[in-house]
Amino acid sequence: MSKGLILLVEDDPTLREIYRQALIGRGFTVAVAADGETAISLLYRHMPRLIVLDIMLPKMNGIDVCRRCRVIMQKPVPILFLTSADSMETFRAGLDAGGDDFLLKAGPIKSILDRIEHWISNRQRGLPQARRRQVIGDVDAARALADSPSTRAAALPPSALSKPKARPTIDQGWEDAKT
């Protein structure tokens, strides 16, 4: 018996097949799309329990697909972005579009599957609006803090501003180089 339908939207055929097989191995039924337009058309025929959505897609990026999914779907469905991007701007745009979580492509497949299982088993079908606003505020605050010139300077240890010590040569050990 299937745990439910997952819509997997990934343009890389190798990754798409790896994720599809892993999800099937965990007991899910998987519908796949290689681009945003195909993903949208699948939503008119199937209602998934969860969507795994790459951000960088041909024809329509994942952020735009997420916005359209939220309009098309009649009930809340978790949308998890699958991405190699790790910028605050990407996180904010994804949350603002209605995404619920981020899965890093570089992460272990087990971690990705565990996050998917978490969202499937979670009775709450996506982030509540108040929590989404709080997370977006946290991302904005972190981004502002990271962009502040005084924060960047304060984050540097005093030794970073001094002249670096000479690196040891092959004949010289690290202990000799420090003196």
The tens digit of pLDDT for each residue in 32-74 reads: 999 999 999 999 999 999 999 999 999 899 999 999 999 998 7
- Cα(34)–Cα(67) distance, integer angstroms: 18
Contacts of 35 (CB under 8 A, 6+ apart): 9, 11, 57, 58, 59, 60
What confidence tier does 174 reach under pLDDT thresholds 50, 70, 90?
very low
- 140 or 29, which is more confident: 29
pLDDT exceeds 70 at position 28: yes
The per-residue pLDDT for 178 is 40
Q: Provide the pLDDT for residue 122.
A: 78
Strands (E), the chain: 5-9, 29-33, 50-54, 79-83, 101-104
Tokens of 141: 């605050």
pLDDT tens-digit map of 112-165: 999 999 999 876 566 656 666 666 666 666 656 666 665 544 544 444 444 444
